[in-house]
């Protein structure tokens, strides 16, 4: 039963109603259909109905949407008694963040005549922003209330939009799959939030901060959805044609190579050579993160495989050796290990993008230079200058994430938001009606496990 501090009977409804009413009012005043969506504007021009951007972008949008709601949601169900919250709070945050992101991104680079124009591309971009918030959610998983998470989403979406505007519109950065804008930002923002929310007595909930057989299996569902749809994620808003085709292909091979190196490193770093499901669930996805920035560039399949191969190695090493150091030395309690899946691979992806951009030439890109690096094609900047811009963009992103996460963490720390106590972390029942008596089920599972793994002669005795 929730105590007075964590009781959500008034806190959550008030927060949800206020936020949604504000969103509805702002949408009513500021948002309208774009020319691809508006009946009058679309039919004013003479073209085929199948030229509408919906037919080019919606399949990619749906893949990204599945990643946001199923992929991210189920990836975080590994905690034995936090499945409802992992999927349920993911659902809540995403539903709010995609609306707020539409407004924030529209304010900065989607205004036309004082109105924010929305269509399938703005839906994709809003999901991208939402993905960054869900990455941060992974760092504080099990230790925050739904109200705290909504507060985090309000500020993080806003800062995300500002950082994205500076990188893409002012600096002219290329980051199609969001290694910087989505993964690096979301990871280091979340790490700073969880550092501020550090719990010295979290050991009181240590026995619940672990997985069981079926919870790891559910988490693997999220992994496979993310793995399969990641090529769509990275290529969703790239230019039609070869750019989109190339981005999907580069991501495809990066993920495949990453998976092999993940399995190899997982067995290699275990003293008994056994695979660790935590590594497989997370590090196998690092190739998609690392291929994000350079995905639309002429990275080549060979280069993509190298990137993915290295990303898997770095991620596993992070889970095995770096995460314990971050918690013991820097007091960063990263529940999902987002530093290993999104942080380090995101930084790596940004560096790969900077190097690849600096090596761009007309001989390699031909007329395609106009779409990938328009400023280089117009001779407004050199390839090496574009590479420097990419590197500077990484520094800008880290600055926004670290400072922003620090400030938002202090806001989330206010007691009015109903955070769980140290002894109640990683527990669904504090915020959810949980059916059934879990104690009796545990007894049944123990019996099944005993019979299943008993030696043949012991099985005969049992019978």
Short-list 162, 170, 97, 171, CA closest to 403: 162
Per-residue pLDDT reduced to its tens digit, 343-369: 999 999 999 999 999 999 999 999 999
Does residue 462 register a pLDDT over 80? no
For residue 445, the model assigns a pLDDT of 42
Contact 177, 293 (CB under 8 A): yes
**What DSSP string describes 39-107?**
HHHHHHS---GGGSTHHHHHHHHHHHHHIIIIIHHHHTTTSTT-HHHHHHHHHHHHHHHHHHHHHHHHH
Share of the chain above pLDDT 90, in %: 89
Extract long-range pairs of 207-212: CB within 8 Å, 24+ residues apart. Answer: 208/79, 208/80, 208/81, 208/82, 208/142, 208/425, 208/426, 208/427, 209/79, 209/142, 209/335, 209/425, 209/426, 210/79, 210/80, 211/78, 211/79, 211/80, 211/277, 212/80
> For residue 79, is it within any domain?
yes
Surface-to-core class of residue 37, CB atoms within 10 Å of its CB (0-12 exposed, 13-18 middle, 19+ buried): middle
Q: What span, in angstroms and rounded, lies between the C-alpha atoms of 34 and 289?
A: 30
For residue 1, the model assigns a pLDDT of 45
Contact 312, 266 (CB under 8 A): no
> For residue 294, is it within any domain?
yes
For residue 411, the model assigns a pLDDT of 97
Does residue 326 register a pLDDT over 60? yes
For residue 2, the model assigns a pLDDT of 53
Q: Greatest CA span in the chain, whole angstroms?
A: 82
pLDDT-derived band at 168, boundaries 50, 70, 90: very high
> For residue 280, is it within any domain?
yes
Strands (E), 177-261: none
Q: What span, in angstroms and rounded, lies between the C-alpha atoms of 157 and 129?
A: 7
The dihedral of CA 10, 12, 13, 16: what is its sign? positive
> For residue 17, is it within any domain?
no
> For residue 417, is it within any domain?
yes
Q: Which residue has the higher pLDDT, 428 or 457?
A: 428
For residue 355, the model assigns a pLDDT of 98
Per-residue pLDDT reduced to its tens digit, 6-60: 899 999 999 999 999 999 999 999 999 999 999 998 988 778 888 999 999 999 9
Does residue 99 register a pLDDT over 90? yes
For residue 45, the model assigns a pLDDT of 77
Contact 57, 121 (CB under 8 A): yes
Q: How many domains does the chain have?
A: 1
Q: Where are the alpha helices (DSSP H) in 269-377?
A: 277-282, 286-290, 300-317, 323-329, 338, 344-358, 362-365, 369-372, 374-377
- Domain of 222 in residue numbering reads as 29-42+59-433
Does residue 461 register a pLDDT over 80? no
pLDDT-derived band at 442, boundaries 50, 70, 90: very low
For residue 12, the model assigns a pLDDT of 97
Does residue 121 register a pLDDT over 50? yes
Strands (E), 142-226: none
> For residue 207, is it within any domain?
yes
For residue 398, the model assigns a pLDDT of 98
Q: Summarize the confidence of residues 55-75 as an average pLDDT.
A: 97
For residue 345, the model assigns a pLDDT of 98
Per-residue pLDDT reduced to its tens digit, 364-419: 999 999 999 999 999 999 999 999 999 999 999 999 999 999 999 999 999 999 99
For the beta sheet containing 31-33, the strands, ordered from the edge strand earlier in sequence to the opposite edge, are 31-33, 115-118, 111-112
**What's the CATH number where 88 sits?**
1.10.3430.10
Question: Residue length, the chain?
Answer: 463
Q: Summarize the confidence of residues 186-207 as an average pLDDT.
A: 96
Q: Summarize the confidence of residues 215-242 as an average pLDDT.
A: 97
For residue 5, the model assigns a pLDDT of 82
pLDDT-derived band at 443, boundaries 50, 70, 90: very low
For residue 440, the model assigns a pLDDT of 40
> For residue 63, is it within any domain?
yes
> For residue 67, is it within any domain?
yes
Mean pLDDT estimate for the chain: 93
């Amino acid at each position: 039963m929730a105590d007075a501090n964590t009781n959500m009977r008034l806190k959550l409804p008030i927060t949800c109603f206020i936020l949604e009413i504000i969103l509805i009012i702002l949408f009513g005043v500021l948002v309208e259909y774009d020319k691809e969506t508006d009946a009058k504007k679309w039919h004013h021009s003479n073209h085929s109905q199948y030229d509408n951007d919906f037919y080019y972008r919606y399949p990619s949008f749906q893949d990204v949407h599945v990643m946001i709601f199923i992929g991210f949601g189920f990836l975080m169900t590994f905690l034995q008694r936090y499945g409802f919250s992992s999927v349920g709070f993911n659902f809540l945050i995403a539903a709010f963040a995609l609306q707020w992101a539409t407004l924030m991104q529209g304010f900065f680079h989607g205004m036309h005549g004082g109105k924010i124009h929305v269509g399938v591309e703005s839906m994709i971009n809003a999901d991208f922003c939402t993905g960054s918030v869900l990455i941060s959610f992974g760092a504080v998983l099990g230790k925050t209330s739904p109200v705290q998470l909504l507060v985090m989403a309000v500020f993080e979406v806003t800062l995300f939009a500002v950082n994205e505007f500076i990188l893409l519109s002012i600096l002219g950065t290329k980051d199609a799959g969001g290694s910087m804008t989505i993964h690096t930002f979301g990871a280091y923002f979340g790490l700073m939030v969880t550092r501020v929310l550090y719990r010295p007595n979290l050991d009181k909930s240590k026995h619940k901060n672990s997985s069981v057989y079926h919870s790891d299996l559910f988490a693997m569902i999220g992994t496979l959805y993310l793995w399969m749809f990641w090529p769509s994620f990275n290529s969703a808003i790239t230019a039609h044609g070869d750019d989109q085709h190339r981005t999907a292909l580069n991501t495809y091979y990066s993920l495949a190579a990453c998976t092999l190196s993940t399995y190899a490193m997982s067995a290699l770093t275990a003293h008994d050579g056994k695979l660790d499901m935590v590594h497989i669930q997370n590090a196998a996805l690092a190739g998609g993160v690392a291929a994000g920035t350079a995905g639309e560039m002429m990275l080549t399949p060979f280069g993509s495989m190298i990137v993915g191969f290295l990303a898997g190695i770095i991620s596993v090493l992070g889970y095995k050796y770096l995460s314990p150091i971050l918690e013991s030395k820097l007091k960063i309690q990263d529940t999902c290990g987002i530093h290993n899946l999104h942080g380090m691979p995101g930084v790596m992806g940004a560096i790969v993008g900077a190097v690849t951009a600096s090596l761009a030439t007309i001989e390699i890109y031909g007329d395609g230079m106009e779409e990938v690096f328009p400023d280089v094609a117009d001779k407004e900047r050199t390839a090496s200058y574009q590479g420097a811009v990419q590197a500077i963009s990484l520094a800008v992103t880290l600055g926004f994430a670290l400072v922003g996460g620090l400030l938002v963490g202090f806001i989330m720390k206010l007691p009015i938001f109903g955070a769980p106590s140290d002894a109640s972390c990683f527990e669904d029942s504090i915020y959810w009606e949980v059916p059934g008596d879990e104690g009796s089920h545990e007894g049944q599972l123990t019996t099944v496990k005993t019979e299943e793994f008993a030696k043949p002669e012991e099985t005969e005795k049992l019978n």
